[in-house]
Amino acid sequence: MNMKKTQLVTLGLATAVFAAMVALPLGAAQGAGEAIDYAGLAKIKAEGMQNSQVMELASWMTDVHGPRLSGSPNIQQAGEWAVAELKKMGLQNVAMEPWTDQTSFPRGWSNDKFYLAAVTPQAFPMTGMSTAWTPGTNGLIRGEAVLVTSTDGAELQKLSGTLKGKFVLTQAPPDVAAFWTPQAERYTKEQLDAMENAPRVPELGAPAAAGRGGAGAGRAGGAPGGGAPFNRNDFFLKEGVAGVLTTSARGHGLFTIGGNRSADPATTLPAIVVTAEHYGRVARMLMKNIPVTLEADIKNTFHPTPTMFNVVAEIPGTDKADEVVMLGGHLDSWHSATGATDNAAGSAIMMEAARILQAIGVRPRRTIRVALWGGEEQGLLGSRAYVAAHFGSAEDPLPEFSKFNGYFNIDSGTGRVRGFSVFGPPEASKIVAGYLKEFEDFGVYGATASASRAAGGTDSTVFNAAGIPGIGASQDPIEYNSHTWHTNLDTYERIVEDDVKKSAIAVASAVYHIAMREQMLPRFDKATMPAPPAPPAGRGGGGAPNQ
Ligand SMILES: [Zn+2]
């Protein structure tokens, strides 16, 4: 907030020299403070506000090519679409770049049909979805519903021989609270000030409490709180149940979904998540000892050894072409909706930012490179592969390492970018904040410095972990934590057009100005580089968190 900016060109003068200055290097304007190319800035704003394509890009990614589960045929199509679109925009070196190591993703998966309903004592449809990488039903099946909430081995053994062909509801019906408070929210000025002044521990704006790295879709058979030695799912499998049903307490027709790509389909049960209201109705009838019959016809397809890729595209640089400024987001999504706020919004914003720069004809000094990652939701796999292949790390650098000028990332929903966290010395975040100062009317507050090399949460942290500047967006939450993150309502309708338009403009300008600087964005050097975090000791099961 307190960034001092040297006003080098008055707005009036900027208008007068508008045409002349566009696409010229900042040159003389460098000096006392961070120079702003006001003519370029005006063009970026005009293009982004008047000719925005961001919603159309998001519609293609969601309505036509969503959901984009990693390794699925859909994300392949989405990647091909993105390549064609970026070429159409005029970007160069556009490609689906395969991960160097194709062995990390054993199987793709898609849900091709989902039908679930109660048939007795009353018929009603049930809203739900298969957990990813679980099998379907092999055609239409009918079975009794049973409520089995125990996780105790001895208790469960008593049911041995009684569960064959039944649908097991594995938890008590949850209490669903009313929406007592408004759901959509923006940060207040006070909150943003606090964020700027406080040391920011997690990288991103999304509060950890609301589910990042949360419990996923509840496939684990253990007791809540962990530690149950008895594997309930193995027991159900051995008993020949038709499938297991779970739900999530948020209710109101919402559920979150996840999956485990590493699970062996031969030993994985059909796992179905349904809304709390439908789950609760069945469970409460069972608690009254009223028999309930369900039927299901679920077709899930496994796709062996899918080609895993990241989409990349460039606006080539000129006199500093070997130096790179990057922007991007993850293209993959979960599969119970179309992955609109997580993360078609971020991908569309970054494609739009690149489109704006291309459309106004910038000739950047440094190369500007867009990347759309795969495999983010399974543990930042695409960006990890990319950073390892291109940059290495501070401890083991590749030639491109020293030429890197920052990676802007968006992955916290539709909410407008209100600031960035910049991995690097305070000078770096001050520079970024100086560029963003021009967007105070959009509510952008600036940038904060981060020295954390812990990877987790989203793709920018992979760059931080390598010791190069990841630049992660802090965004207004809007409905991200309450309604859209990994849920069945994460559709196009949840994208706030004004916010994504303005985010694209702010990012385009910041990327442009970094690409035009005389000097590189300041970075940690050998002496100041924070130590990488110790590798996590004994992570249980190797299952990747769902970011
Ligand atoms: Zn995401």
CB 474 within 8 A of CB 191: no
Element (H, E) at 299: strand 293-304
* pLDDT above 90 (res 535): no
Q: Give distance in angstroms: CA of 415 to centre of ligand 1.
A: 13
* pLDDT above 90 (res 312): yes
pLDDT value of position 227: 53
Q: Give distance in angstroms: CA of 218 to centre of ligand 1.
A: 19
Highest CATH level, class, for 107-174+209-301 = alpha beta
Q: What would you report as the CA-atom Rg of the chain, rounded to the nearest whole angstrom? A: 25
Answer whether 11-16+29-105+306-516 and 107-174+209-301 agree in fold.
no
Q: Give distance in angstroms: CA of 377 to centre of ligand 1.
A: 7
Q: Give distance in angstroms: CA of 144 to centre of ligand 1.
A: 37
Give one DSSP letter per residue of 245-259, joined into a string.
Answer: EE--TT-TT--B--B
Decide which of 2.130.10.10, 1.10.540.10, 3.40.50.970, 3.40.630.10 is the CATH code for 11-16+29-105+306-516: 3.40.630.10
Q: Give distance in angstroms: CA of 332 to centre of ligand 1.
A: 8
The end-to-end CA distance of the chain, in Å, is: 30
pLDDT value of position 19: 37
pLDDT value of position 305: 92
As given in the structure block, the two tokens for residue 357 are: 């720069």
* DSSP conformational letter for 15: H
pLDDT value of position 537: 60
What angle, rounded to 10 degrees, do the helices at 38-50 and 345-359 form? 120
Q: Give distance in angstroms: CA of 57 to centre of ligand 1.
A: 17
* DSSP conformational letter for 260: -
- Go through 120-132 and write b for each residue having 16 or more CB atoms within 10 A of its CB, e for each that does not: eeeeeebbbbbbb
pLDDT value of position 228: 54
pLDDT digits (tens, 9 = 90+) for 460-482: 999 999 999 999 999 999 999 99
Confidence of residue 533 (pLDDT cuts 50, 70, 90): confident
Helix (H, G, I), strand (E, B) or coil at 185: strand
Q: Give distance in angstroms: CA of 36 to centre of ligand 1.
A: 32
Q: Give distance in angstroms: CA of 115 to centre of ligand 1.
A: 27
Helix (H, G, I), strand (E, B) or coil at 63: helix
Q: Give distance in angstroms: CA of 512 to centre of ligand 1.
A: 25
pLDDT value of position 444: 93
Q: Give distance in angstroms: CA of 405 to centre of ligand 1.
A: 23
* pLDDT above 60 (res 225): no
Q: Give distance in angstroms: CA of 350 to centre of ligand 1.
A: 14
Burial environment of residue 90 by CB neighbours within 10 A (0 to 12, 13 to 18, 19 or more): middle
Q: What would the 3-class secondary structure string for 123-159 be?
A: CEECCEEECECCCCCCCCEEEEEEECCCCCHHHHHCC
What are the structural domain ranges in the chain?
Answer: 11-16+29-105+306-516, 107-174+209-301
Neighbours of 396 (CB within 10 A): 11
Q: Give distance in angstroms: CA of 547 to centre of ligand 1.
A: 6
Q: Give distance in angstroms: CA of 133 to centre of ligand 1.
A: 19
**For residue 233, what are the CA distances in angstroms to 161, 218, 267, 522?**
15, 11, 9, 52
Indicate the average pLDDT of the chain: 88
Confidence of residue 93 (pLDDT cuts 50, 70, 90): very high
Range scoring the smallest mean pLDDT among 14-28, 149-163, 204-218, 372-386: 204-218
Q: Give distance in angstroms: CA of 459 to centre of ligand 1.
A: 9
What is the strand order of the sheet 92-98 is part of? 92-98, 309-315, 366-373, 320-330, 404-409, 470-475, 417-423, 446-450
